Chain A
Amino acid sequence: MKNQMGNVWDRGTWHRTDLHQCIADYATYRKPNLNIVDAYYVMKQNGPRGVSVEDVVTMKSLLISTDMVAIDTASAKLFGMDPADVRYIQIAADQKIGRMDLENLRIKRLSV
């Protein structure tokens, strides 16, 4: 969801207003048809720029979903965070933009 911020020219406004709420609200305007999260190399600290290669771990994972809230929820878990701690995911789920209840979703898990 956060990546949609790149569509906005004045991101300062989002930062000034309420970042999490703005990120969630943008999803009510336009949702991508398909969301892909590349979690092959994942930056775990010092993000988003990183200071050295020490900041990156190799997870060799890829998430694909039509539901951007669900994919963000799964990504948070992959990252090692409780999705409810990421406020915009919670807001988006509350606003019915997508679903956080991964246990009720049909997820295909492929290991290669």
Chain B
Amino acid sequence: MQWLKRIRIVVAIIFFLALTLLFLDLGNVIPIGIHTFFVSTQLVPSFMRTLVVLSSASFGLFFVLVITVLFGRVYCSTLCPLGILQDIVIRIAKRMNRRRRFRYKEQHYILHYSLFVLTGILAFSGSVILLNLFEPFSNYGRILSNLMSPFVVLANNVFGYILGLFGFMFLFQIPILHINPVSVLASLSILAVVTYLSYNHGRLFCNLLCPAGAFLGLVSRFSFFKIVIDENNCKECGLCERVCKANCIQSSSMEIDFAACIGCFNCLAACPTIGISYKGRWTKLSDTSKEADSGRRNVLKISVLPALGFLMPDVGFKSVVEKSQNGFNENRKHPISPPGSLGVERFSTLCTACHLCISSCPTQVLLPSFLEYGIAGVFQPKMNYDASYCNFDCVLCSQVCPTGAILPLDVSSKKEVQIGRAQFIKDDCIVVSKKKDCGACSEHCPTKAVKMVPYEKKLMVPEVNNEICIGCGACEHACPVQPSKAIYVSANQIHQKAKKSQSKKAESSFDSSQEFPF
């Protein structure tokens, strides 16, 4: 039964490489269709997106459920990038210590399912904090975009520079505009935890912390194909138990805890006889009813836990972001959510902070936040107009978002989405304070919500029309006033529709068929 393991490894490599490249695709050369295909197979994001809107992600979710019902948790060993990362670590660990072996261990069902239930309750009550912390796809994304991506940019720049010396100019220099050290540190710690756990305990992360693992474990209890030990053919050599990364095979009692099995098929490959096999339900084997019995009991025990969830204080961001009467904040500290997210609160309850939008944002205006969205929204992306501004003609983040936190927009409707409003502090403006012309804000404004009007003798001063402002932050980014800008965007808690800017047809100042004006 070697071939099942081989198929698993091939599929795993394809998905691991594809999902990795999506996060490191600096020039956004990978077509959106390929993006959508690979990302839609990710369980938690696709589940969330399906709750929001029926889309290709729903097919992905359906596909994952079907393969789990049929084959068990093969998702964990083929489609999940964090799972494959752990497999790589486990492989390296084995290289370093050839005598390393796994042993059967009692699964931590109580802890795992308590955490799962708590995660679910919090997520449905509007706080995705636990989902953010333990969801595998988002964690993998954060590891890549926070830890790997800067090095890829650096490599690109060094290569680009060297090639430039020889006259090849096709690699552009990419500036790194901003790095959130807290987010980097957090990604580093989760990478350390995952590496430590997999190096020493195999796939413990998947069977202790991962919400996707918990859910698929529940489904796989009912799966059609299962790995079973055939008492008649088993020689009790224990090789299958030794190679089981999930510690779920007990060779002495010939039991397999299939809910914890991550479907790597190493045991099938390791078995020297036909003592262990992958069988459909119709083949009646000797006693398979004992399987996962203890696990089932534990699930019953934790059914009291939902009560615990409601006792949790509201760690949502509601306590942090207070709304003003007119629907937008006067305070410039509040985070601005990207266009397509419909509103700050909605965004914060749906985003698992995978940072795929951050990786794909061409102007690097999307950056990981820390506590701006509240504790529940830690590391969710926000618009950072210090670093950059939102490109008027770009909708990439809305196209790549896997969870539906940012819904797809087309370019023309994006141009009317008002995510915030420009606030102009006239007394701080260069024109007023220094009596010198400037106009940087108006130059950058794509809708001319900021326009220059005559001021004092021959000066021009900005004037803001918030009806047509879309809150892209171009004015704030361009404003030269230090230390705090004279024009800034305040967040719209609920995104509004901006009016279209109206302008009359411009008239020529001279008749080109006639004489020159000079």
- Chain A residues close to B by CB (< 8 Å): 11-13, 15-20, 42-49, 51-52, 54-61, 73-74, 77-80, 85, 87, 102, 107, 109
Contact = CB atoms under 8 A, between A and B. Distances in A.
B98 interface: no
Interface stretch (B62-70, B106-114, B363-371, B432-440): B432-440
Given A16-B481, A87-B437, 8 more contacts: A12-B480, A16-B430, A46-B503, A51-B503, A52-B503, A54-B504, A55-B506, A109-B516
B290 interface: no
Given A49-B446, A77-B518, A57 B506 contact: yes
Interface stretch (B35-43, B187-195, B297-305, B507-515): B507-515
B505 interface: yes
Nearest to B468: A51
B506 A51 contact: no
Given A16-B430, A107-B518, A80 B510 contact: yes
A60 B482 CA distance: 42
B503 A16 contact: no
Contacts of B437: 19-20, 87
- The interface centre, meaning the residue of A17, A44, A46, A109 with most chain B CB atoms within 10 A of its CB, is A46
Interface in B483-507: 501, 503-507
B505 A15 contact: no
Contact of A87 (B448, B458, B482): B458
Nearest to B449: A51
Contacts of A79: 509
B477 to A, nearest CB: 10
A61 B511 CA distance: 11
B313 interface: no
Main secondary structure of the interface of B (DSSP, over half): loop
B481 A54 contact: no
B508 A59 contact: yes
Contact of B505 (A20, A54, A78): A54
- The interface centre, meaning the residue of B445, B505, B509, B518 with most chain A CB atoms within 10 A of its CB, is B518
- The interface centre, meaning the residue of A17, A20, A73 with most chain B CB atoms within 10 A of its CB, is A17
B505 A51 contact: no
Contact of B509 (A17, A58, A73, A80): A80
Contacts of A48: 443
B235 interface: no
B447 interface: yes
Contact of B482 (A16, A47, A74, A102): A16
Contacts of A12: 440, 480
Going nearest first, the 9 A-B pairs with the smallest beta carbon separation are A80-B509, A44-B506, A12-B480, A15-B480, A57-B508, A77-B518, A16-B480, A77-B517, A18-B436
A102 B482 CA distance: 40
B8 interface: no
A54 B458 contact: no
A20 B503 CA distance: 28
Contacts of A54: 503-506
Given A18-B436, A19-B437, A78 B480 contact: no
Nearest to B515: A109
Contacts of A85: 458
Contacts of B279: none
A110 B508 CA distance: 19
B509 A44 contact: yes
A39 to B, nearest CB: 9
B443 A49 contact: yes
A87 B434 CA distance: 16
A47 B445 CA distance: 9
Contacts of A87: 437, 458
A16 B431 CA distance: 9
A11 B430 CA distance: 14
Nearest to A50: B448
A59 B516 CA distance: 11
B444 interface: yes
A13 B430 CA distance: 12
